[in-house]
Structure 1
């Protein structure tokens, strides 16, 4: 699978709640670093993503960039119940073979913590 198809499949899967497909896009030893957490196993990351998805009202993809070994997505996540807020997120991917091997998530952690407490 080419990089663009892999990243699009992953993004569509997690945003629609299809975590089996999302997990299948990830390398077992995924290196994921975000503004709040770090994961070194895909299964641990998917467990956290599954919990987070319960808060998500919608995801709007704003911009994207793909090349042979990576990608970058910029999107906004509306947190439920509205109007808890919108979290703008940049997600950077590294692809090795036919799996996502690394993810870097950049977002305003303070805004997310506030939305989680509301």
Structure 2
């Protein structure tokens, strides 16, 4: 049996290297995601939310990773094209070897500010 932390680390490695097809293999079809923008239901809805972020990612570095028999948590730093320092945290509930529920915490304000600056330049 694969430990939840192993599943989560493999998922993180996949999306942070822009291999979202592989990242999807770690997600349950009925995944529920709680993100700053609201609740997402289903793996495809999650993909529509997260894959665009993976495309603007420059790098990611895990700060901490912890898990038990049902869940895992990651804290990481990311650097993206619009925002140089974008830390995040994720809490994953894993069932039957797949991520079934995911809570993502990050600060949306720097991304909104970057969008506003970009809009002003056009």
TM-score w.r.t. length of structure 2: 0.87
Aligned to 1:110: 109
**Which has the higher Rg, Structure 1 or Structure 2?**
2
Report deviation, 1:62: 0.7
CA distance in 2, matches of 1:113, 1:58: 20
Whole-angstrom distance in 2 between the partners of 1:75 and 1:116: 23
Change (3 A) 1:112 1:37: farther
Alignment-derived partner of residue 22 in structure 1: 23
Tell me the CA shift for residue 106 of structure 1: 0.7
- 1:53 paired residue number: 54
Q: Which runs of 4+ in 1 moved over 6 A?
A: none
2:27–2:43 Cα contact (<8 Å) kept? yes
Alpha-carbon RMSD: 1.4
Aligned equivalents of 1:62, 1:92: Cα separation in 2: 14
Relative to the length of structure 1, the TM-score reads: 0.90
Unpaired segments ≥5 residues, structure 2? 118-122
Q: CA deviation at 1:96?
A: 1.0
Report the CA distance between 1:60 and its aligned residue.
1.1
CA apart distance, 1:32: 0.1
The size of the alignment, in residue pairs, is 116
Structure 1: gaps of 5 or more residues: none
Q: Secondary structure of 1:87's match?
A: coil
